[in-house]
């Protein structure tokens, strides 16, 4: 083997062994968090909110992220006028504050979530986490489905909407 080819082969082998196993194992063909929300009928309101807040690109990005994702039922529990107000252009900043309070940096699986007392959100505020037997509460919500894997993180489905503290952009 000539010296140039040998150098290239050594370089390629070195690069392959330098890449962490989790990167090699990651399924880049699986959908992103934003794609899962957009393509799952249970998250159509969340997808609309992400669109209204211009956050689709963020949750379609590299990540990894953990999203505590409210279902349509969670949004439906809000008074209709409150949901309409949240999605209105003039309340975009409030919507961003609320949605980023649902996102944690890093892929935090359910086995890791249950070991936490709180998590710091992309909003910069902490959300409390409580575990009581099989029930996991994030803030005032309950996790109803865990560990939906995405190419850029993980989704845990919750039964309500998380609101950041009023002094951190959570109030009207």
Domain boundaries, the chain: 27-168
- Provide the pLDDT for residue 100: 96
Q: Measured between alpha carbons, how far is 70 from 73 in angstroms, rounded to an integer?
A: 8
Reported pTM: 0.80
The pLDDT tens digits of the residues spanning 100-129 come to 999 999 999 999 999 999 999 999 999 999
Q: Is the pLDDT of residue 146 over 80?
A: yes
Number of C-alpha atoms within 13 angstroms, CB side, residue 105? 6
- At residue 149, φ and ψ (nearest 5 deg) are -80, 140
The pLDDT tens digits of the residues spanning 39-84 come to 999 999 999 999 999 999 999 999 999 999 999 999 999 999 999 9
| Banded pLDDT at 19 (limits 50, 70, 90) | very low
The DSSP code sequence of 79-92 is: -HHHHHHHHSGGGH
Report the b/e string of 21-53 with b at 16+ CB within 10 A: eeeeeeeeeebbbbbbbbebebbebbbbbbebb
87 within 8 A of 161, measured Cβ to Cβ: no
164 within 8 A of 119, measured Cβ to Cβ: no
Architecture of domain 27-168: Roll (2.30)
CA-only gyration radius of the chain, Å: 19
């Amino acid at each position: 083997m000539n010296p140039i080819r040998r150098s290239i082969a050594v370089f390629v082998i070195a690069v392959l062994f330098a890449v962490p196993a989790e990167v090699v194992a990651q399924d880049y063909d699986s959908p992103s968090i934003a794609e899962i929300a957009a393509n799952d009928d249970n998250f159509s309101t969340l997808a609309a909110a992400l669109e209204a807040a211009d956050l689709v690109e963020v949750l379609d990005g590299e990540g990894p992220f953990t999203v505590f994702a409210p279902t349509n039922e969670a949004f439906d529990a809000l008074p209709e006028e409150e949901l309409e107000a949240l999605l209105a252009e003039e309340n975009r900043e409030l919507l961003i504050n609320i949605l980023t309070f649902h996102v944690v940096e890093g892929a935090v699986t359910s086995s890791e979530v249950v070991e936490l007392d709180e998590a710091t959100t992309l909003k910069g505020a902490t959300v409390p986490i409580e575990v009581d037997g099989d029930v996991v509460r994030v803030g005032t919500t309950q996790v109803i489905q865990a560990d939906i894997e995405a190419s850029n993180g993980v989704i845990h489905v919750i039964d309500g909407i998380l609101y950041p503290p009023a002094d951190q952009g959570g109030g009207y």
